[in-house]
Amino acid sequence: MLAEPFNWQPGMWKVLIVVMCVALLGCLQAQELQEHVSIILLGATGDLAKKYLWQGLFQLYLDEAGRGHSFSFHGAALTAPKQGQELMAKALESLSCPKDMAPSHCAEEKDQFLQLSRYRQLKTAEDYQALNKDIEAQLQHAGLREAGRIFYFSVPPFAYADIARNINSSCRPGPGAWLRVVLEKPFGHDHFSAQQLATELGSFFQEEEMYRVDHYLGKQAVAQILPFRDQNRKALDSLWNRHHVERVEIIMKETVDAEGRTSFYEEYGVIRDVLQNHLTEVLTLVAMELPLNVSSAEAVLRHKLQVFQALRGLQRGSAVVGQYQSYSEQVRRELQKPDSFHSLTPTFAAVLVHVDNLRWEGVPFILMSGKALDERVGYARILFKNQACCVQSEKHWAAAQSQCLPRQLIFHIGHGDLGSSAVLVSRNLFRPSLPSSWKEMEGPPGLRLFGSPLSDYYAYSPVQERGAHSVLLSHIFHGRKDSFITTENLLASWGFWTPLLESLAHKAPRLYPGGAESGRLLDFEFSSGRLFFSQQQPEQLVPGPGPAAMPSDFQVLRAKYRESPLVSAWSEELISKLANDIEATAVRAVRRFGQFHLALSGGSSPVALFQQLATAHYGFPWAHTHLWLVDERCVPLSDPESNFQGLQAHLLQHVRVPYYNIHPMPVHLQQRLCAEEDQGAQIYAREISALVANSSFDLVLLGMGADGHTASLFPQSPTGLDGEQLVVLTTSPSQPHRRMSLSLPLINRAKKVAVLVMGRMKREITALVSRVGCEPKKWPISGVLPHSGQLVWYMDYDAFLA
């Protein structure tokens, strides 16, 4: 019987097309099954590999092997093959499966994983060439297509360059396959060394090939910060800012000490070991502007960098440091140092960080970490302001409704009384939304955390706890670069921390006994941009170089200098005295004339004064103050060299001066700098004449250069020393050479002139100028003699007590 001719219905074409597509997809998937990944773990028998990396690789294998990839694992080290094989076998003994996997299945998976894992010695260039040949042979033999190669450097950084060279010259995969090299910290010791290391690695690898690990980015609670912020945008949008956040604490406390690791620790200390990397990374995740798409690695990395740009520079007073008492003894023992050796390496640090942008201005970010403390715990805690008053008595307060209970959000990184990663949100804030991989948790009854019972929080923990390295290995495999440290990110972080590290290099840390015995010794407070220990330093346990004189040990000295009043003190007290005097002058001027005209110098000496005015003078009549510049460098106003930029960074952005009261010097006109024909000096002079009565400033703040210059009036240069001109263009012997300056006649019309002189570098000129008469051509400062106003010298002891 003949088959009935097939009757094509119109819709059947569509069905056929769908069937063909499915078949094609199936073929493609089958082809994908052939994709092979080789993972080479360098340092396969080391500590990190034993503790975390092999387990992470096993987890990666469990997660991915069934999904279109085949694997081979090459454990590598310098050790000879036989011994290395034995050591690696030991490291692999303790692999564990997820809790919910049946034991028989687990044994099967482990067995397969072990069969795919081989030890090999990687020492010479030939060893690397042989590795490459073996990978290629394996691919060819099994008919596999290569997806890529991961080289995990679990080795000390001094070995990086050699390994990198060998990989680059003989172990790159063929076209179409990727190379990923994974690097573990330390990535340098300061900005300079990090830059060197980055340049070296950059000569072997492309930026996209490098995955610098900060294992904190793999901690589940840390990895949840951005997704949480994203998923709870609606609730957080209005709260995540300076109006609602009281402070942010980013804490990593440890009970272990540095014993057994002092050769590393002695070189690094807690700031380099933990704050520069782990805690800073957490800070950026909390503080960054949330990208529209948090899964865009490019956007996340860009927004992170913006946080670094907004960080206020750290001062010595931004931090306190401590050292557990037995540390020096451990260093002496482990590093064979003489009995007289006392280490200055901090094992505890607390640092006050400010993010100077519109969202976070004024919100303290506290970063703190230490060894040998009373507990092991890590968290990022966002404490919200509480401006509510509850009328009913406390017994009627309900956790979910009462606005009078503490309001906080905690990314609990691990350990502590809770013992696991968690996200805690005060019930009176909002009910959070978390992905299904997180579940609501219960803690032990009666548990209190951060001042509230656990029941006052919505508390979530991961359904499956995963080690940080395991999380990151999965991200490396999937090419998720946002979980890693780019070169730019690394250098920005070192750029931020290096000045503080340098300023603390010779500071003796406060000694603490360790554990619970430390009592309140390490408690600290912060205010006015500074952070300090709450308690006075008790008797030093180790004799230091002798107690340094504190500013408070001295009275402010009043005397005369060049026939004019002199105020002299240690620098801190001097600045505070000068700031008080300026405020008093301002208040008087505003009371009498309704406004205060203040002309300020640039350079480094006034920076501390600006900061003092910005942080400790709330009664200053800024709204009625006009700010003028005494002098300016001929650079754009946004240039870091510009005096106006210094004023902006240290004062203007922290106070509220009406913008029409701010008078930068017009050095940049018609896209040119200080061109005579643009008449910038004349324009400024006209502005002064128009706004300042009799062109007589209420107060002019000057400095004195080591060569006797003041404002931008330099020795051996007649410009601006006499004549009619109020504002002049001058030439400096040092760069940038071209300047704009108030003239000496204009300065001398002021009602008050204060000259601030600080530092040892000024000793000689201070002594010399004290003896000379009025010779402005040789020493322009000697020509400062207000006609009817007052001249006051402010000198610190370093400059004055020669």
Give the interface with ligand BG6 as residue ranges (CB under 6 A): 254, 273-274, 378
Query: If we measure between CA atoms, which residue out of 359, 416, 402 comes closest to residue 382?
Result: 359
DSSP category for residue 661: G
**Minimal distance in Å, beta carbon 432 to ligand BG6?**
24
Of 254 and 632, the one with the shorter C-beta distance to ligand BG6 is 254
Residue 599's identity, in one-letter code, is A
C-alpha 332/C-alpha 229 separation (Å) is 47
What lies within 8 Å, CB to CB, of 555 at 6+ separation is 569
Exposed / middle / buried, residue 231 (Cβ in 10 Å: 0-12, 13-18, 19+): middle
Of 187 and 360, the one with the shorter C-beta distance to ligand BG6 is 187
Sign of CA dihedral 724, 730, 733, 736: positive
**Minimal distance in Å, beta carbon 255 to ligand BG6?**
10
Query: If we measure between CA atoms, which residue out of 699, 701, 712 comes closest to residue 794?
Result: 701
- HEC profile of 194-237: HHHHHHHHHCCCCHHHEEEECHHHHCHHHHCHHHHHHHCHHHHC
Of 428 and 461, the one with the shorter C-beta distance to ligand BG6 is 461
Residue 593's identity, in one-letter code, is F
Site of tokens 């029941």: 455
138 close to 97: Cβ distance less than 8 angstroms: no
Query: Is residue 278 annotated as a catalytic residue, yes or no?
Result: yes
C-alpha 357/C-alpha 696 separation (Å) is 36
What lies within 8 Å, CB to CB, of 309 at 6+ separation is 492
**Minimal distance in Å, beta carbon 641 to ligand BG6?**
38
Of 378 and 529, the one with the shorter C-beta distance to ligand BG6 is 378
| Peptide bond before residue 736 is cis, with ω within 30 degrees of 0 | yes
Site of tokens 């809770």: 418
Strand, helix or coil for residue 693: helix
Of 72 and 154, the one with the shorter C-beta distance to ligand BG6 is 154
Cα angle for residues 298, 303, 306 (degrees, 5° grid): 130
Task: For residue 174, give Cα distances in angstroms to 34, 143, 178.
Answer: 16, 15, 8
**Minimal distance in Å, beta carbon 219 to ligand BG6?**
7
What lies within 8 Å, CB to CB, of 223 at 6+ separation is 217, 471, 483
**Minimal distance in Å, beta carbon 265 to ligand BG6?**
7
**Minimal distance in Å, beta carbon 778 to ligand BG6?**
58
**46's tokens:** 């080391």
Strand, helix or coil for residue 631: strand
Of 148 and 414, the one with the shorter C-beta distance to ligand BG6 is 414
C-alpha 58/C-alpha 296 separation (Å) is 28
Of 273 and 583, the one with the shorter C-beta distance to ligand BG6 is 273
C-alpha 231/C-alpha 244 separation (Å) is 19
Of 187 and 610, the one with the shorter C-beta distance to ligand BG6 is 187
**Minimal distance in Å, beta carbon 157 to ligand BG6?**
13
Compute CA 460 distance to the chain's CA centroid, rounded to the nearest angstrom: 28
Of 346 and 680, the one with the shorter C-beta distance to ligand BG6 is 346
Of 253 and 738, the one with the shorter C-beta distance to ligand BG6 is 253
**793's tokens:** 């010298």
Strand, helix or coil for residue 444: coil
**615's tokens:** 């942080």
* Catalytic pick among 36, 69, 189, 278: 278
Q: Which residue is nearest to ligand BG6 (CB)?
A: 273
Q: Which residues are registered as beta bridge partners of 30?
A: none
**424's tokens:** 């805690």
**Minimal distance in Å, beta carbon 285 to ligand BG6?**
16
C-alpha 74/C-alpha 121 separation (Å) is 10
**612's tokens:** 């003092």
**Minimal distance in Å, beta carbon 212 to ligand BG6?**
13
**Minimal distance in Å, beta carbon 615 to ligand BG6?**
34
Of 225 and 758, the one with the shorter C-beta distance to ligand BG6 is 225
**Minimal distance in Å, beta carbon 484 to ligand BG6?**
15
596 close to 586: Cβ distance less than 8 angstroms: yes
* Residues carrying an active site annotation: 278
